[in-house]
Chains A and B, each alone.
Chain A
Amino acid sequence: MNKKQLQRYIRNASRNVTMRSEDKGLVRERLVLYMEQRPLPSTEAPRPIRSPFSIPSIFRAHHFSGALMIALLVTTGTFGMSFAADDALPGDFLYPVKVKMNEGVKTAFILSDEARITFERERAELRLREASRLASEGRLDAKRQATVSKLFAAHTDSISQRVQNIETLDPVFAAEVSADLETALSTHEAVLARLIVESEDQVNDGARDLIGQVRNATQEAGRIREGAEERIAATMEEDGGIQIAVVSDPGTTPEPSVATPTLKTITPPTPKTESANLRERATYRAEERARQNMARVEELLELFPEESELSTQSRNQLLSARFLVKLGDEALRTHDLTRAYGFYREAGASLQKVAQLLEVANLFSIEILPDMSMAALRAGDDADALDDRADIVREWHERVSEALRDIRTVLLTQEGYDLETVSQANARIKDATALLMRGEIAVILGDLAKAEALFMNSERVVTRAHEQLVIAGQQQNVRGVPVPEQPEGKVEGEEVESVSEPLTIKHDVAEGTHTFAGVLSDTLVGCVINATGTVSVTTTTAISIAIETSTDAEVCDDAERNFSVSVDAATDSSLVAVSINGVAQPFTLAPTVAEPN
């Protein structure tokens, strides 16, 4: 029995262990008697609520009453986005309460952009942790993922907007927060990918979309960071440099001509990390972060004496980070702030990632190794080899995607194959698609070698299938038809595809927007309740449509059988897949109309 099964077994087996109701009743009665014999002291005076020790400085501002202040504080993180705070997960009954009340209500009290950014960042990460937890239990279905995605998008949009607002005023903060976010998100992406693979469920498109979404957010954060860093680099080198008004804390009056400490400092500001000179400030703060992360990783490693690959790699990363920090110190000595900043930042980022992975290993009992490319990039000379590898992998991916499209087209536009041939071909397509998806995940996890192997395998499978079709085509009476009819009756393994008629879909392109429209075929009962189009994250020219129907008379009172979907995508994009209620639907594109009506 593996560990996860064991965990589940323990959980389920213990559920029904309770006291008998008579026993519980007896205990309660005794308790009540006990209580009556020992009355409480008079409770007129309201009890003082014990407040935790450290209160982020933002809350020290005057307008908040004591009770509110306390109510806003929880255990970990700047704003307490902790696991312990509450357990509700997407799909749970209390989840909306958690998001709107527990989290949402705080936003009214967080006034400054900086604090709000930090807050939204923690919320975004919390969403991903929730998704990770669901994935680790094999519960990240499409519906829950949609909830997570929506909220995650809202948080990251808010972050992007605000960081861009604040970039001019405080590029150091902007650079820092986007760098942190970038690292954290890319690690989350790897964790999610691994968890999805490990939970024995099949990879579903919903989960892939979330990963894609995270990846986009990571890249966006990276772009913002680079922009902010450029801005810092562009400031004048002389000390005293540009004097900027830093966003001030609501309780104090800003003095525009002097740089005031940013909100994030609770302790009295040290001169260098709060220097008016942007570069200095950025550099010394990067140094501080690097050292903090070093300490954190050291602490985590102490609890990891096991001889695991993860702990070995983590120790190595720690060593190289120490080395990087030394290089940074050297650069500082020669007053080369830019180089020093670069070294410190890289050390800090790699260690942030390691720390995150160590924590994940604890929580989910899985090992994800620090990204190999990090080590390669440091060496510098391997970077090119890595790029070549990445290009090759990308090429394979293209090739496989195209091959799959082709063979699907062949199956749809030719008729006359016998049942066995078709079912074999479908089975192979299914295998090849699975290999393709696993390859995509390997790419995310940084294992390019594995990805390449998987894509190659996938292509081999498709080629075989295609060959077989060609051979069968020669032997059997196969001919091309515009709207083929699938052989009737159930076929082993792919019953749905061969029973339903292919759907005819009209495709129009105008200024980057693709519109697909059609009508449900007569063999399909019910009405259309929803139709969505998505562009594949990995193959940006591949569009897929998902149609939801219902046979419920109440829902279908207007008996809508038409559907229309619009998607923004590259002009040369094409429709690769249609599904109805989650089941793949063969389709064919109607010949394009020459003139609009």
Chain B
Amino acid sequence: MSQQQAFLEAFDQYADALYRHAFFRVSDKEKAQDLVSETFTRTWDYLVKGNSIEEFRPFLYRTLNHLIVDEYRKKRTESLDKMLEEQAVPEGAFPELVEGGRADIEFSLDAQRVAGMLETMPPQYREVVILRYIDGLMPAEIATMLSEPVNTISVRIHRGISWLSKRVDEKNL
């Protein structure tokens, strides 16, 4: 199988999962799609430079993650978004920030609720919780991807879920 074929197969296999991840991170369908598209083009650029990729999945996730983080940084310039980065986020989503795409009839009510829950999470928790429970990656894989020790990741996941579970009941799920 040629590199091109392998690459396209990776697209077929992972695009949906990456999209799902991106969506829950940025809460914007269009944006999520763009991010996925760009993830693959950048990966292709990497291959064109003469590198090789042994396992696409972690590489793609890592790339996507960088793009998402860049996305956050871009948003920083807007004043309202500053509040998302801070630790103590007041309850409730910021619907005004999510123009053009979150609440959509195509996605189930539950998926929307989950997106809403995640939006309010502090970003460092959100990242690992999504990777763990939506992407289904194991803590060790996440650790490799983010270049952090496994235990740090595990603790963060643990805290993220704790954070959520305290607030979720109040939201009357």
On A, residues with C-beta under 8 Å from B are 1-3, 6-7, 9-14, 16-20, 23-24, 27-28, 30-32, 34-35, 38-41, 43, 47, 49-50, 75-76, 82-84, 87, 299-300, 303-304, 359, 362-363, 365
Contact = CB atoms under 8 A, between A and B. Distances in A.
Given A47-B52, A303-B152, A17 B23 contact: yes
Contacts of A17: 19-20, 23-24, 107, 111
B11 A14 contact: no
B168 interface: yes
A13 B134 CA distance: 9
A487 B8 CA distance: 68
A18 B29 CA distance: 10
Nearest to A47: B52
A6 B37 CA distance: 31
Given A11-B133, A303-B155, A2 B165 contact: yes
Contact of A30 (B23, B37, B151): B37
A10 B152 contact: no
26 contacts: A1-B168, A2-B165, A3-B161, A6-B168, A10-B134, A12-B110, A13-B108, A13-B110, A13-B111, A14-B24, A17-B23, A17-B107, A19-B33, A20-B106, A28-B12, A31-B37, A31-B44, A32-B8, A38-B44, A40-B47, A41-B50, A43-B3, A84-B144, A87-B138, A359-B154, A362-B151
Contacts of B52: 47, 49
Q: Which size bracket describes the interface of B in this complex?
A: 35 or more
B133 A7 contact: yes
Contacts of A82: 140
Interface string B95-112: 000000000001110110
B82 interface: no
Contacts of B3: 40, 43
Contacts of B40: 27, 31
A500 B53 CA distance: 63
Q: Which 5 pairs between the two chains have the least Cβ-Cβ distance?
A: A362-B154, A13-B110, A84-B140, A47-B52, A14-B134
**From A1, A20, A35, A359, residue with most partner B Cβ within 10 Å:** A35
Given A11-B133, A28-B11, A363-B154, A40 B4 contact: yes
Contacts of B169: 1
Contacts of B136: 11
Contacts of A84: 138, 140-141, 144
Contact of B138 (A6, A12, A47, A83): A83
Contact of B111 (A3, A14, A30, A304): A14
Interface of B: 2-4, 7-8, 11-12, 15-16, 19-20, 23-24, 33, 36-37, 40-41, 44-45, 47-48, 50, 52, 54, 106-108, 110-111, 113-114, 117, 129, 133-134, 136, 138-141, 144, 149-152, 154-155, 158, 161-162, 164-165, 168-169, 173
A1 B164 CA distance: 10
Nearest to A70: B54
A396 to B, nearest CB: 37
Nearest to A49: B54
A365 B161 contact: yes
A13 B20 CA distance: 11
Contact of A362 (B20, B107, B114, B139): B139
Nearest to B133: A10
Contacts of B37: 27, 30-31
Contact of B48 (A1, A13, A28, A41): A41
Nearest to A19: B19
A39 B49 CA distance: 10
Contacts of B111: 13-14, 16-17
A40 B155 CA distance: 42
B155 A362 contact: yes
A300 B149 CA distance: 10
Given A6-B161, A27-B36, A19 B15 contact: yes
A41 B50 CA distance: 7
Contact of B129 (A10, A12, A87): A10
A67 to B, nearest CB: 13
A303 B48 CA distance: 41
A14 B48 contact: no
B144 A83 contact: no
B25 to A, nearest CB: 12
A27 B15 CA distance: 10
A16 B113 CA distance: 13
Contacts of A9: 110, 114, 173
A23 B33 contact: yes
A38 B36 contact: no
A14 B114 contact: yes
Contacts of B129: 10
Contacts of A14: 20, 24, 111, 114, 133-134
**From A32, A87, A363, A365, residue with most partner B Cβ within 10 Å:** A363
A83 B110 CA distance: 30
A31 B20 contact: no
B141 A40 contact: no
A502 B141 CA distance: 54
A17 B113 CA distance: 12
Contacts of B168: 1, 6
B129 to A, nearest CB: 7
Contacts of A34: 41, 44
Given A13-B108, A13-B114, A7 B161 contact: yes
Contacts of A6: 161, 164-165, 168
Contacts of A50: 54
A2 B169 CA distance: 9
Contacts of B11: 28, 31
Nearest to A87: B138
**From A16, A40, A76, residue with most partner B Cβ within 10 Å:** A40
